Structure 1
Amino acid sequence: MANRKQSAKGRVVGSSGRFGPRYGRFIRKRVNQIEQLTNARHVCPRCDQATVKREGTGIWACRKCGFKFAGGSYVPETPAMRVAVRSIERSLQREG
């Protein structure tokens, strides 16, 4: 038998590793997914560059053009906001 070091099993915990064994696997997994999504670079609605970062809860700012806007807590554009924008665009097309 070779004297090999055993590798770790399972998934890498990522940012939720700071919780250790507390709170349960699924909550830690959900926290990890939300933090990855929140900390990712998002596309600016004004300049179309992937430079939008979260400044606070629901506050997003583009680092390139300086555009600051309100959005969701974890993502700048929520599914409900997409539906609202789509319905506004449709109503504007009907008028014009």
Structure 2
Amino acid sequence: MVKHSKAKKALKGLGARYGIKLRKQYSKVHFTLKEKRTCPECGSQNFGRDAVGIWSCKKCSYKVAGTAYDIKL
């Protein structure tokens, strides 16, 4: 019997296309972009990306500029 791991490192939908190096880079960026973040002002979990480099909180409307896929506060 095969044991399945709980943490997935690969994305579905890409298949065997584009090469392993690009798939790994894409999955790293994707998981960095989609992880949960806390708002530096109110502390809620509703802090996310609005556009490239613009991050905002849906609860307190706090906006900050950062990098494209991650925020460094």
Q: Report the number of matched residues.
A: 71
In the TM superposition, residue 19 of structure 1 has moved relative to its aligned partner by 2.2
Residues 1:62 and 2:57 are matched in the alignment: yes
TM-score by length of 1: 0.59
- Distance in 1, matches of 2:59 and 2:10, equals 29
Residues 1:19 and 2:14 aligned together: yes
Give the secondary structure class of the aligned counterpart of 1:61.
strand
The Cα shift of 1:25 comes to 1.1
How do residues 8-87 of structure 1 correspond to structure 2 at under 5 angstroms? Answer: 12=8, 14-15=10-11, 17-77=12-72
Query: Normalised by the size of structure 2, how large is the TM-score?
Result: 0.74
Higher share of residues assigned helix: 1
Q: Which runs of no fewer than 5 residues in structure 2 stay unpaired? A: 3-7
Distance 2:49 2:63 in 1: 10
Q: Relative CO higher for 1 or 2, CA cutoff 8 Å, sep ≥ 6?
A: 2
Provide the C-alpha distance between the structure 2 equivalents of 1:30 and 1:55, rounded to a whole number of angstroms. 22
* Percent identity of equivalent pairs: 29
Report the AA paired with residue 32 of structure 1.
S
Encode CA deviations 1:5-47: one digit per residue, 9 max, x unaligned.
x86xxxx5643x3222122112111211111110112121211
1: CA distance, partners of 2:58 / 2:13? 29
